[in-house]
Amino acid sequence: MKNIEILALLIPIVAMVAIFTFLSIAVWSEERRKEREAHYRNELMKKMLEQPGPAADRILDLMRGEEERATAQKREGRRLGGLVTMAVGVGLALLFWALSPGTGLWTVGLIPFLIGAVIFLFSIFGSRPQEVAPRREA
């Protein structure tokens, strides 16, 4: 009987240690990847400064396109996050309305709905694309 009690205590402890270990390794590896990408990008910029020409212009165009895609992905992520939060708000409002009709408790669902609406509207109107730097003449 005592072994079962000890095992019942150890399982959640081991699970938490495993989860936090996994999360710390995942965050560390992602930061390391970003660091390598930044290093390679800086090396590429150094080489472009040393040898300007049409190849450097193509690389700059590729880098601009990559930045534009990243910005578009962030904007789409915000839109999706806003829509999901709005859906959660509607779901909560319907749940509370069904559980206790006539009490006004459904208005709790307005909180996440309005937060989602702000996130969604910001993704459409608030985040404007950055101006593209002028191309340099060769």
Q: What is the DSSP string of 76-130?
A: HHHHHHHHHHHHHHHHHHHHHHHHSTTSSGGGGGHHHHHHHHHHHHIIIII-PPP
pLDDT at 53: 76
pTM for the complete prediction?
Answer: 0.58
pLDDT at 52: 74
138 residues of the chain, pLDDT tens digit each: 678 888 888 888 999 999 999 999 999 999 999 999 889 888 877 877 777 777 777 777 888 888 899 889 999 999 999 999 999 999 999 999 999 888 989 999 999 999 999 999 999 988 665 554 555 554
pLDDT at 83: 96
Measured between alpha carbons, how far is 112 from 95 in angstroms, rounded to an integer?
14
pLDDT at 24: 96
pLDDT at 134: 52
Our CA angle for 35, 81, 27, nearest 5°, is 25
pLDDT at 138: 45
